[in-house]
Structure 1
Amino acid sequence: MTEDVPGYRVLEQIGEGGFSVVYRAHQERLDRTVALKVLSVGTVDAAAMRRFQRECKITGRLSGHPNIVTVLDTGTTRAGRPYIAMEYFEHGALTDRLAKEGPLPVADVLRIGVKTAGALAATHETDVLHRDVKPQNVLLSRYGEPALADFGIARLVDSFDATHTQAFTPHHAAPEVLEGRPPGIGADIYSLGSTLYQLLAGQPAFKGPPGEGIALLMLRILHDPPPPIPRPDVPKPVADVIGRAMAKTPEQRYTTAVEFAQALQRAQAELGLPVTDVAYSGSAVTPGPAPGLPGPPLVPEWAPTTSDPRASGSTTNGSPTGGSPTGGFAAGGAPGVTGPTTPHPSPPGPLPGRPQDGPRRGLIVAAGVALVGGLVLGIGALALAGGGDPGKRAGGSPAPTAPQGQVTQAPQPVTAA
Structure 2
Amino acid sequence: MTFPVVGMVGGGQLARMTHEAGIPLGIRFKLLSDTPQDSAALVAGEVVVGDYRDLDTLRDFARGCDVITFDHEHVPTGHLRALEAEGVPVRPGPDALVHAQDKGVMRARLDAIGAPCPRHRIVADPADAAAFAAEVGGFPVILKTVRGGYDGKGVWFVRSEQDAEPPFRAGVPVLAEEKVDYRRELAANVVRSPHGQAVAYPVVESRQVDGVCDTVIAPAPDLDGELAGQAQQLALRIAQELGVVGHLAVELFETTDGRILVNELAMRPHNSGHWTQDGAVTSQFANHVRAVLDLPLGDPRPRATWTVMANVLGGDYPDMYQGYLHCMARDPQLKIHMYGKDVKPGRKVGHVNTYGDDLDDVLARARHAADYLRGTITE
TM-score (normalised: structure 1): 0.28
- Rg comparison, structure with higher value: 1
For CA contacts below 8 A with separation 6 or more, give which structure has more relative contact order.
2
More strand by share: 2
